[in-house]
A and B are shown apart, each in its own frame.
Chain A
């Protein structure tokens, strides 16, 4: 069942119905300390079911607002948004410190009504597959940053929702761990395909992981470029094609950033 947050547009979009995302001319603002801030100005983008779309842009270009709209945490001021049920993976892992890694991963299942034993059993199956074996009973405080992100991602995955919204998932990690996690995420999505809308300010990360990269301008966010990444996986950051696309995205950012 697609969630229709606002249906001003003609009911024609095929993408949203089967787990996709459609935004048409979405404008949204919020108030911060009494002043109105326009976050997004006429953003249109789509993600087909199973597609990985990365949104890159300078800091404060409304990327997080975009994800909150897609997750249904806010309704857009103007424009149309159609999206299958989406789950948010915030920038920080937000694991609950009193639960073990396995119980944290199983949280979505418990909220969905599973018993603790059943939720743990189902989470444990993926734990092994996703390289978390042996960490089930560790508390979040005992895990490294990369491991915590894996657990957080697993919790997101187990919500069972067709759309995943990742808000700078590896932003807080060191460069080596981040590279590891990018490979891990690519492998995980190959195994468990989902529609993914990922915001990042790391252009290279976007090109390595996504099928399409949407470049936003500085606030208020507008789409300044859209890049199809038709490259085979796994992708290497040293490939000529990756470097060329990276340069194109950076150029688009430089122009859009000047606003």
Chain B
């Protein structure tokens, strides 16, 4: 058996089994399609609505990717800053936590007031939601360098910058990438929240809004859109895992990583 098959087979078998159980449940219990469409109905809704779903998905995927990128850049930069400046850490860290607890609709209105009905406010909502796990994991990764390692570097006369460059920054990279994976998972639902809770003009597309409106009379298509969103999240998660293997191979080999 090839490696690819061996790695993907368990998940495929489980997914197929779950879909079969779902199909059987809907058929045998006679559940109404408006409540729970069977997988076959979802598949046909996906095929029939492929143009609409694709069009909306492209917008939502863009929000996730751009929002996550923004959160990664900003989150890592902030983590480095608060790591290097304890005063800044004491001032800013509680606010980072607080930012995560703000209900999105509260700031959504303000974001729309500032930047209109387009992409930018949605992207910022995604970034806001993704920001927190990136900051926390990167910061912890930077701080996790062994105290004995620091002593060793000091006796080698390493400057603060050199200790950061040679030890702390590479040590934090796998942690930051773990943060990115967590952020991605919440980022996809973040895009849905961004589209459905920030005020919109009606002209702005997006899979989140499409799913929400389909829930009224087109449940199967809402499920089809959801399936696309879920598949996107899973694909991105493994893309990030792959990136970790490339960027931080030592961490993946030490963990004996799954893929």
Contacts and interface: CB of A to CB of B under 8 A. Distances in A.
Interface of A: 68, 71-73, 86-92, 94, 96-98, 107-108, 110-112, 139, 141, 159, 165
A96 B155 contact: no
Given A98-B170, A98-B248, A111-B162, A90 B151 contact: yes
* 8 tightest A-B CB contacts, nearest first: A97-B250, A88-B155, A71-B155, A98-B170, A90-B148, A111-B158, A87-B155, A98-B250
A45 B162 CA distance: 34
A73 B250 contact: no
B33 to A, nearest CB: 54
B257 interface: no
Contact of A141 (B154, B248, B250): B250
Q: Which of B149, B155, B170 has the most CB of A within 10 A?
A: B155
Contacts of A165: 155
Contacts of B253: 139, 141
Contact of A108 (B149, B156, B251): B156
By DSSP majority rule, is chain B's interface helix, strand, loop, or mixed? helix
Given A90-B152, A159-B156, A96 B254 contact: no
A235 B162 CA distance: 41
A73 B151 contact: yes
B113 interface: no
Given A73-B154, A88-B152, A90-B152, A110 B250 contact: no
A110 B154 CA distance: 14
Contact of B166 (A91, A111, A139): A111
B32 interface: no
Nearest to B163: A111
A20 to B, nearest CB: 17
B151 A96 contact: no
A147 B253 CA distance: 19
A89 B158 CA distance: 15
Contacts of A112: 157
Given A107-B166, A110-B166, A92 B156 contact: no
B77 interface: no
Contacts of A86: 155
B167 interface: yes
Most A C-beta atoms less than 10 A away, residue of B148, B152, B250: B152
A195 B20 CA distance: 74
A89 B173 CA distance: 26
For the side of the interface on B, what is the size category? 20 to 34
Contacts of A87: 155-156
Contacts of A110: 166
B155 A72 contact: yes
B49 to A, nearest CB: 47
Interface string B134-163: 000000000000101101111111100010
B162 A94 contact: no
A52 to B, nearest CB: 19
22 contacts: A68-B151, A72-B155, A73-B155, A88-B152, A88-B155, A91-B148, A94-B148, A96-B167, A96-B170, A97-B250, A97-B254, A98-B170, A98-B248, A98-B250, A107-B156, A108-B156, A111-B156, A111-B166, A141-B250, A141-B253, A141-B254, A165-B155
Nearest to A167: B148
A89 B148 CA distance: 10
Nearest to A87: B155
Contacts of B167: 96
Nearest to A103: B166
Given A91-B148, A94-B146, A111-B162, 17 more contacts: A68-B151, A71-B151, A71-B155, A87-B156, A89-B152, A90-B148, A90-B151, A96-B166, A96-B167, A97-B254, A98-B248, A107-B156, A111-B157, A111-B166, A139-B253, A141-B254, A159-B156
A218 B67 CA distance: 60
